[in-house]
């Protein structure tokens, strides 16, 4: 199929699509009546950090096209997924968009536009509020809103990402499990905010001596005027001047409660757990853990689940039969294994010593140009094949002279005879 032709070839008859302007309200109501998370969901700093960390790490990992377990990145598919999925944004932001949307709302959609030959030509992230999953006798399909019109999109033309689901169709966001934790965090932050906002009048009673019984409206009026005059950070440590007959008594605040609220990390730990993140990604220190160990744990126990789920959907929709027998997709995770220059140097050296990397492969890792004869692989003289080892042992047991490498391979013979 033309989908895997070299990038040096040109493509024709591509569909044109005008990118809509995406608004970002706090909440969005979809075609199916559901309310989806918008900007309001990331007003919680822990949610923002969790979502941004996962989305940026997935988006920053290139997706390699594999043919017979060998990278074949000089293809249109590689370019489409990583460099230019459409004329409006890069492959990084395509992956970032579908990750953010899926994490906040449980699922996300990427529309596959195809050329005249039926090969994917463009990939567009669609706002979740503009897509409805439906089913008829033919199977699953999607109803897509484009401006004032709706159109049917077949399942094969829509990448539908979800990382947790109970029916295989509808995705569920990790935020669903954090209802009480988010409310507790909001309450604790509100307590601290109110304490510092009121300044010198954090809490207290104002007595009006010699005054007749005041109505509720009068009390509210006096309270508002008093708070307006003496509250706020600008009034901290300033002297309060009261009228004759007014007495203000400040209520003592238990500082232990403020310490408890300020040091509250349970909600943060629960958010990290729901998203599968190690606590150090949300700013909670983990003693006796190296950066390399933390990154490997993050890769193995966190990113792998998001990598696997997204790759499975891409392979299912972008590699139809029989292409999925010939090609594969996988994320490049090398950056998570090489956390510093020392680790990278040790890994590259080990790959060269194992004859997996040539000199030019190693130079490529550091952005260096290839050198002459640099594509040859270095092999240790201590290595041999099993049949040669058996021959060596047989000759040794019979006290026969052991054949040399030159005798086994005439091309290695020099000018003299062995033993001379």
pLDDT digits (tens, 9 = 90+) for 81-131: 999 999 999 999 999 999 999 999 999 999 999 998 888 999 999 999 899
- Angstrom distance (rounded) from CA 80 to CA 91: 7
Give dist(CA 88, CA 19) in Å, integer. 7
Mean pLDDT confidence for 244-255: 67
Tokens for 401, please give them.
Answer: 């002279």
Residues whose CB falls within 8 Å of the CB of residue 175, separated by 6 or more in sequence, listed in order: 37, 41, 47, 104, 182, 274
Report yes or no on whether pTM surpasses 0.75: no
DSSP E strands in 165-223: the ranges are 204-208
The answer, yes or no, to whether residue 166 has pLDDT greater than 80, is yes
Strands of 149-154's sheet in order across: 131-136, 139-146, 149-154
Given a contact cutoff of 8 angstroms between Cβ atoms, the answer to whether 136 and 24 are in contact is: no
Task: For 109, list phi and psi in degrees, rounded to 5.
Answer: -135, 135
228 has pLDDT over 70: yes
- Angle at alpha carbon of residue 283, lines to 282 and 287, rounded to 5°: 120
Average confidence (pLDDT) over 209-215: 72
Three-state secondary-structure class, residue 134 = strand
pLDDT computed for residue 11 by the predictor: 44
**CA 319 vs CA 40, 155, 322: distances in Å:** 37, 14, 8
Q: Select, from the ranges 236-245, 278-287, 366-375, the one with the highest average predicted confidence (pLDDT).
A: 366-375
pLDDT tens digits, one per residue of 6-41: 554 444 444 444 444 444 445 555 555 566 565 666
pLDDT at residue 67 greater than cutoff 80 = yes
The predicted structure's pLDDT at residue 125:
95
d(CA 159, CA 109): 6
pLDDT of res. 19: 43
């Amino acid at each position: 199929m033309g989908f895997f032709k070299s990038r040096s070839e040109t493509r024709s008859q591509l569909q044109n699509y005008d990118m809509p302007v995406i608004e970002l309200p706090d909440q969005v109501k979809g075609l199916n009546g559901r309310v989806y998370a918008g900007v309001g969901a990331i007003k919680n700093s822990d949610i923002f950090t969790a979502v941004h960390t996962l989305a940026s790490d997935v988006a920053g990992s290139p997706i390699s096209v594999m043919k017979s377990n060998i990278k074949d990145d000089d293809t249109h598919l590689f370019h489409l997924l990583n460099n230019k999925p459409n004329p409006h944004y890069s492959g990084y932001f395509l992956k970032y968009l579908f990750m953010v949307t899926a994490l906040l709302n449980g699922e996300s959609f990427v529309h596959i536009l195809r050329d005249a030959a039926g090969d994917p030509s463009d990939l567009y992230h669609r706002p979740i509020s503009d897509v409805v999953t439906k089913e008829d006798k033919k199977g699953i399909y999607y109803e897509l809103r484009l401006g004032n019109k709706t159109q049917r999109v077949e399942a094969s033309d829509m990448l539908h990402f979800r990382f947790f689901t109970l029916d295989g169709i509808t995705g569920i966001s990790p935020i669903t499990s954090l209802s009480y934790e988010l409310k507790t965090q909001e309450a604790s932050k509100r307590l601290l905010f109110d304490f510092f906002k009121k300044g010198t009048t954090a809490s207290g009673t104002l007595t009006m001596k010699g005054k007749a019984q005041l109505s509720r409206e009068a009390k509210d009026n006096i309270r508002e005027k008093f708070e307006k005059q003496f509250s706020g950070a600008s009034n901290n440590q300033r002297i309060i001047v009261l009228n004759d007959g007014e007495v203000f008594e400040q209520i003592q605040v238990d500082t232990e409660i403020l310490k408890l609220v300020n040091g509250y990390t349970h909600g943060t730990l629960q958010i990290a757990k729901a998203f599968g993140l190690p606590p150090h990604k949300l700013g909670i220190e983990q003693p006796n853990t190296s950066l390399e160990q933390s990154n490997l744990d993050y890769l193995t126990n966190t990113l792998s689940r998001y990598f696997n789920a997204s790759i499975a959907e891409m392979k299912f929709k972008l590699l139809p039969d029989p292409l999925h027998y010939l090609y594969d997709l996988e994320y490049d995770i090398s950056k998570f294994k090489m956390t510093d220059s020392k680790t990278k140097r040790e890994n590259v050296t080990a790959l060269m010593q194992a004859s997996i990397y040539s000199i030019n492969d190693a130079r490529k890792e550091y952005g260096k140009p290839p050198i002459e004869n640099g594509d040859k692989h270095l092999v240790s003289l201590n290595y041999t094949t099993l049949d040669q080892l058996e021959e060596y042992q047989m000759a040794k047991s019979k006290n026969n002279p052991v054949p040399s490498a030159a005798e086994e391979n005439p091309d290695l013979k020099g000018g003299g005879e062995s033993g001379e």
